[in-house]
C-alpha cells in the first residue's frame, strides 16, 4: 500500500484535489468530523497520513511515507534527503524580509550589522544573510513573528508572505524576497528506486495535472 503524507492546513484541499486527478481519493481527510490521522482510500490502494506541514519531509525521509506534499519553504528550511518530484503550482507565497514601515530601510543590506532578526525559518534566514555578508543575530519564534519589530525585540523579520495583509495591518513592509514558494510533491529516494511502476504512474499523473493548459511534458 502506498502511503502519502498530507499537510494539514492551507495546502490540504488542493493536495486532495490533485491526488484525485491521479486516481487517489483522499477526500475523507476533508471531513470536518474526521479525527483519524491515517486514512485509507476507498479502494484500499493507498492511505494518507495527516500531519503538520513541517513534518511532511520527515515522514518521507524516514520512509514512513513514499510520497508527500509540502511547501518549498519547508524543504529549504529543513534540508532533509527527499526527492523533489513535481512543482504542483498551488500554495504560492514568498519568503521575505520585512521591517517597520517607518524604519527607513529599503533593502536587507541596509540593516545594521549585528541587529536582531526574528523568524520561524532561521536556516533560510542564515543562508540569506550569510550570502549578503551581513552578520545578524537570529531570534527563533514559532508564531506571530510580526511582534518582533512592533515590540522592538528585532529590527526585522524573515517570514512567508502571501497577500501581505498581515504585514500591512501591523505596520510592516516587505523590503526584499529570499525566494518564491509553492507546494511540491516529494518522494522517498529508495522507494522511488525500488518502484515497480505504481509510484511512477502517480507522479506522472500529478505532473500532467500541474501543467498549464496546452503545455506538453
Task: Give the pLDDT of residue 211.
Answer: 56
* 101-124 confidence digits (pLDDT tens): 999 999 999 999 999 999 999 999
* Radius of gyration (C-alpha) of the chain in whole angstroms: 19
* 22-79 confidence digits (pLDDT tens): 999 999 999 988 889 999 998 888 999 999 999 999 999 999 999 999 999 999 999 9
C-alpha grid cell, residue 147:
511582534
DSSP tag of 72: H
The rounded distance, in Å, linking the Cα atoms of 77 and 186 is: 15
Domains in the chain, start-ordered, CATH in brackets? 2-91+182-210 (3.40.190.10), 93-180 (3.40.190.10)
* 152-191 confidence digits (pLDDT tens): 999 999 999 999 999 999 999 999 999 999 999 999 999 9
The rounded distance, in Å, linking the Cα atoms of 118 and 154 is: 6
Contact 60, 184 (CB under 8 A): no
H helix or E strand, kind and range, residue 147: helix 147-151
Task: Give the pLDDT of residue 34.
Answer: 87
Task: Give the pLDDT of residue 212.
Answer: 55
* Torsion sign, CA atoms 159, 163, 169, 172: positive
Amino acid at each position: 500500500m502506498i502511503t502519502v503524507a498530507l499537510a494539514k492546513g492551507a495546502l490540504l484541499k488542493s493536495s486532495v484535489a490533485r491526488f484525485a486527478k491521479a486516481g487517489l481519493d483522499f477526500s475523507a481527510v476533508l471531513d470536518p468530523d474526521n479525527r483519524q490521522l491515517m486514512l485509507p482510500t476507498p479502494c484500499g490502494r493507498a492511505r494518507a497520513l495527516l500531519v503538520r506541514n513541517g513534518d511532511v519531509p520527515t515522514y518521507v525521509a524516514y520512509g514512513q511515507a513514499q510520497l508527500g506534499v509540502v511547501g518549498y519553504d519547508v524543504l529549504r528550511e529543513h534540508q532533509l534527503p527527499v526527492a523533489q518530484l513535481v512543482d504542483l503550482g498551488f500554495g504560492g507565497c514568498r519568503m521575505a524580509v520585512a521591517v517597520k514601515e517607518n524604519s527607513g530601510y529599503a533593502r536587507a543590506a541596509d540593516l545594521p550589522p549585528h541587529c536582531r532578526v526574528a523568524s520561524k525559518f532561521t536556516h533560510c534566514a542564515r543562508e540569506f544573510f550569510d550570502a549578503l555578508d551581513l552578520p545578524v543575530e537570529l531570534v527563533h519564534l514559532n508564531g506571530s513573528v510580526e511582534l518582533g519589530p512592533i515590540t522592538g525585540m528585532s529590527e526585522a523579520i524573515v517570514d512567508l508572505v502571501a497577500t501581505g495583509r498581515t504585514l500591512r495591518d501591523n505596520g510592516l513592509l516587505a523590503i526584499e524576497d529570499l525566494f518564491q514558494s509553492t507546494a511540491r510533491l516529494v518522494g522517498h529516494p529508495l522507494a522511488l528506486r525500488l518502484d515497480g511502476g505504481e509510484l511512477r504512474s502517480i507522479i506522472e499523473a500529478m505532473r500532467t495535472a500541474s501543467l498549464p493548459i496546452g503545455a506538453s511534458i
